[in-house]
Structure 1
Amino acid sequence: MALTWLTFLLAAVIGVVAGVLIGCIGVGGVVIVPLLILRHDVDIHLAVVACMAAYVPAGLAGAVAYVRKRAVPWHSAVFMCLPAALAALLGSWTLVRLSAHVVKLVLYSIMLGTSCLSAVRSLHAVWTEKKAEQPRSIAGTRDTIASGMSGFDRQSNSGAASLGEDSTAFDDGVHSMEQEQARLMAPDGDEKAAGPGILSQNGRERPVVVAGASTNHRQVASDTSTDKAMCCFGSLTGVQLVQALLVGMLAGFGSALTGTSGPVLLLPMLFILLWPALPALGCAQVIQVPIACAATVGNLFFATSQVDLHDMFKLAGCVAAGLVPFVFVGAAIADHLPQRTLKITVALLLVVASLVLLLREVL
């Protein structure tokens, strides 16, 4: 069935929506194929191969952005690229041999898993934020009380003649404590908790020293973070090399089979391996390029019997036209939106949507 101009227009709109979501909260590529196949004239095989072609320019733009930030862990990325590309070729070969029903089941399952992971991570971040506020509030209140009481004690030692001064000093201490409590309990102050030992001021994170925390404790926390990052910035051990090869293969095969972008599958696996967020995102953007290129080349050879290549490239161009520029628009919009609330809301909506699509396909 020939595609109509309305289909191409909707493909561009879907690209815009996915681009804004990716720019705002980092989740969006997974929605493109499910939205495209809502049109009766777009088969899931066509949607998958068109999306993989659209991810080539999108992946290049994302990779350049993270390379400029120096956030790409090349020690691991180089070992993921080749197996990811080879697995993407295998995925494109497998795609044409599976029915639309099976491909949809795999796609909706991936959509459900990634959206659940996103929701859990966002909720855990909120819980960590609130937990970090409690010791800081207690420590601040304890210090102000101690300051007020010490002032009272010093003044009381001077004798009965200074009773008036005693009362003033104690009142000042209590007043300082009340001010401190009011500041800490203010809902929209300049400083908001962003995690243990971190304060976000005017949207930027800066390290702080929590009252009562010793240098040794801070050093232990730093060493722990360094150990977790060793797998992506240091030289790889044998186990880490095997992990990199397997992760690349799974991401490449799954992406080519379902039309989801490389980060959709790669990021959950990297987070399970305790990678920090920024190098994980940088690695995922870089790996997306060989995956998309290899899958597109494979589709040119294997999918010609099921897909009109002319329609594939036109549909891919429409998706990419909306996807690539609006990633940057979404990133600009994100500065003016409540990130935690937005991430949780979108993730929960995706969970519900994927459950509905999955149940509809099963039943």
Structure 2
Amino acid sequence: MFVSTAILLATIGLAAGLLIGCIGIGGVVVVPALVYVVGIPIQTAIAGAIMGYLFTGLVGTAVYARHKSIRWDMTVWLWAGAMPAALIGARFIQLADPLLLELFIGALALLSGLAALRPPFAAGAKAQSLSKPALAAVGAVTGYASAVTGTGGPVVLVPILTWLRIPVLTAIGLGQAIQLPIAVLATAGNIAFGEPDLMLGLLLAVGLSIGTLAGAQLAHKMPRAMLGHAISGALLIVGGLILLRAARHLFFSDLVTIFRANHFL
């Protein structure tokens, strides 16, 4: 049983890593897969996924930096906002209602899918710049949301930057770099405030690292329009299913409450 579970976890990591490395949107599928396919509690799944992003951050940043696809002048300010926010988010996980986290993850998947439908910039488009306070604010939102949902940095940051009209390859490169401080601070917070499953994090890291390496190489060699639309469709489906499941739980819970109230009247 352990061997089959280990293979399944590595496979989930591989698929998500490929998407993270290639288009920056992939971390959003990790937690739902762990919860609904493997049957892991959502808080444990979030902490394990965040731990795995330590390795995707290292691999993705290295590959994108080698291709000179990371704007370091923007990265520093994104990190400044993301680090404290990630630590706060790690604390929130232990206090949050699992149903609330499901709703948050489902909404994030839908928004990411809608963002991926936007047409990419032309290959030769010049990257725009944001002010330092704006970058720090975007980093803070990314750090907090990523730590709370276990999605890593790219799936939050890439849609925000594309909405702000930053060219897609620049946005993906910044998404790779922001994983490092978020994963480090959020994992430190999870260890301090809870008991993360180290084996889960390591097994995910194996697949995530290999997938990210392959995806990052693909991102610099192939057009992303068709792949982006395919991923957008998958994210819309995943987000919709999660929100439907959460809504069903809310509705069912209300029915039980009403029944009990009437029963004891």
TM-score bucket (shorter structure)? 0.7 to 0.9
Partner of 2:255: none
Corresponding residue to 2:87 among 86, 89, 94: 89
Number of corresponding residues: 248
Q: 1:245 & 1:23 partners in 2: Cα distance? A: 23
Q: 1:90 & 1:262 partners in 2: Cα distance? A: 15
C-alpha displacement of 1:80: 1.7
Stretch deviating more after TM superposition (316-325 or 266-275): 266-275
Q: 1:230 & 1:22 partners in 2: Cα distance? A: 23
Q: 2:134 & 2:184 partners in 1: Cα distance? A: 23
C-alpha displacement of 1:334: 7.1
Partner of 2:183: 292
C-alpha displacement of 1:102: 0.7
AA aligned opposite 1:36: L
**1:33-60: CA deviations, max 9, x gaps?**
1001014641000000001110001101
Q: 1:11 & 1:46 partners in 2: Cα distance? A: 14
AA aligned opposite 1:297: A
Structure 2 contact 59–209 (Cα < 8 Å) conserved: yes
Partner of 1:69: 67
Q: 2:223 & 2:73 partners in 1: Cα distance? A: 35
CA RMSD after TM alignment: 2.4
Partner of 2:153: 262
C-alpha displacement of 1:18: 1.3
Q: 1:260 & 1:280 partners in 2: Cα distance? A: 16
CA 1:73 to 1:356, structure 2 compared with 1: closer, same or farther past 3 Å? same
Q: 2:244 & 2:201 partners in 1: Cα distance? A: 28
Partner of 2:237: 352
The TM-score, its normalising length taken from structure 1, stands at 0.63
AA aligned opposite 2:14: V
Q: 2:18 & 2:70 partners in 1: Cα distance? A: 23
Structure 2: any 5+ residue segments left out of the alignment?
249-265
**1:232-283: CA deviations, max 9, x gaps?**
xxxxxxxx12211110100000000000010110111112222122222222
Q: 1:283 & 1:333 partners in 2: Cα distance? A: 17
Decide which structure has the larger Cα Rg and report it.
Answer: 1
Structure 1 contact 16–322 (Cα < 8 Å) conserved: yes
Partner of 1:319: 204
Structure 1: any 5+ residue segments left out of the alignment?
129-194, 196-204, 208-224, 232-239
Structure 1 contact 7–39 (Cα < 8 Å) conserved: no
Listed as ranges, the matches of 1:197-276 within 5 Å are 229-231=128-130, 240-276=131-167
Stretch deviating more after TM superposition (340-349 or 289-298): 340-349
Structure 1 contact 92–256 (Cα < 8 Å) conserved: yes
Listed as ranges, the matches of 1:1-363 within 5 Å are 4-39=2-37, 41-118=39-116, 120-121=117-118, 124=119, 229-231=128-130, 240-304=131-195, 309=196, 312-330=197-215, 339-363=224-248
Q: 1:63 & 1:333 partners in 2: Cα distance? A: 14
Q: 1:71 & 1:338 partners in 2: Cα distance? A: 16
The TM-score, its normalising length taken from structure 2, stands at 0.84
Q: Secondary structure at the match of 2:128?
A: helix
CA 1:21 to 1:112, structure 2 compared with 1: closer, same or farther past 3 Å? same
Stretch deviating more after TM superposition (35-44 or 337-346): 337-346
Structure 2 contact 78–135 (Cα < 8 Å) conserved: yes
Percent sequence identity over aligned pairs: 33
CA 1:336 to 1:41, structure 2 compared with 1: closer, same or farther past 3 Å? same
AA aligned opposite 2:172: L
